[in-house]
Amino acid sequence: MPAVPMIELWRGGMLESVHVGHAVICDETGGIVEAWGEPDAVIFPRSSCKMIQALPLLESGAAEAFGLGAAQLALACASHNGAAIHTGPVSRWLADLGLGEGDLRCGVQMPDDPAARKDLICSDRSPCQIHNNCSGKHAGFLTLAKHLKAGSEYHEVDHPVQRAVRAAFEEVTGEASPGFGIDGCSAPNFATSVHGLARAMAFFAAARPEGGARERAAARLVAAMTRHPDLVAGEGRACTKLMRAMGGKVAVKTGAEAVFVAILPEQKRGIAVKIMDGGTRGAEAAIAALLRRLGVLAPDDPVLLPYLTGPITNRRGTKVGEIRLAPGFAA
């Protein structure tokens, strides 16, 4: 089945734009509870799978050996804004490893956080790799590499770190990955189906803190994300706002090119969404609609306003349109 309409934008009484995509909700067995579009559509999960990429950090014993706390684990799963609350802990983490900014392989990025951006511009300083939204994930990779006594080029696909990531990825998605692409941060990003990604999120949702090594690792990562939603993304970001609104009961994570996932431990459900045009607006609206459908966000929760239920206004504050669910999606 091809991608289906999910999110519509209306203006002046006319349908102006449509976001089409795929979405899957899985239960703890990995079975499909509900699906829209093609569950077997193969995608790159991009940063939505950072909690999977962090599994070997815990399973290997590296997190324990280096005394990583919940904040560092949240940063390992983060696509952060580069604010001081993100860059400070990452800098200290690297220092504790006896490493520095030059050991990262994620590349330089201007921070998205307004205050951090203004500080750099006004001080005439340049951004560095610690400002990169993936610097926490890469600090986790470096921790694992040091624990394994492996080489410095931890981002290469044949490095022991990425071999461990691929093994974990294929096991929790339940699928052999058909290939990989290079992500914006230079790490390999392994492909899977939308169903496989939802299956992996359902595994995280059902993971028990008292279970085996992988379950314990997954449960710790989910707990870290829900405890520190501000570290997973940042002020003004959908991941942070949605997790705060759900009071620590659900973990959500976005990825580039309009991928979004959710982990619902109380329901033991996992969600994966892919909007085919790559538009963030569509992905945020779709995940918000599915969270509302599953009852973890009330229909009148104000957090939904910018994503789903509020009017679209122009620069003068005049209502000019609205976002609607496409017929047949998540009503």
For 7-46, how does the pLDDT look when each residue is reduced to its tens digit (9 = 90+)?
Answer: 999 999 999 999 999 999 999 999 999 999 999 999 999 9
**Res 1 pLDDT > 80:** no
Q: How far apart, in whole angstroms, are the C-alpha atoms of residue 324 and residue 41?
A: 24
Token pair 């193969």: residue: 42
What CATH number does residue 214 fall under? 3.40.710
Percent of the chain with pLDDT over 90: 98
Note the pLDDT of residue 148.
98
Answer whether residue 258 is part of any domain: yes
Q: Is 22 among the domain residues?
A: yes
Give the C-alpha distances (Å, rounded to integers) separating 104 from 15, 64, 66, 90, 135: 46, 21, 18, 11, 7
| Within-domain flag for 331 | no
More confident residue, 277 or 124: 277
The mean pLDDT of 248-263, rounded to a whole number, is: 98
Question: What's the whole-number mean pLDDT along residues 308-321?
Answer: 95
**What average pLDDT does range 121-147 have in this prediction?**
97
pLDDT at 209: 96
Give per-residue pLDDT as tens, 210-237: 999 999 999 999 999 999 999 999 999 9
pLDDT of 123 reads: 94
What is the structure's pLDDT at 124? 85
Residue 330 within a domain? no
Q: Which amino acid does the sequence have at 42?
A: V
Q: What domain range is 292 assigned to?
A: 4-325
Q: What's the token pair of residue 19? A: 């976001």
Instruction: Give the whole-angstrom CA distance, residue 169 versus residue 176.
Output: 9
Q: How many domains does the chain have?
A: 1
Q: pLDDT band at 199, cuts 50/70/90?
A: very high
- Within 10 A of 179 (CB to CB), how many other CB atoms are there? 10
Mean pLDDT, residues 118-141 taken together: 96
The yes-or-no verdict on residue 52 having pLDDT over 90 is: yes
pLDDT over 70 for what percent of the chain?
A: 100
Q: What is the pLDDT of residue 247?
A: 96
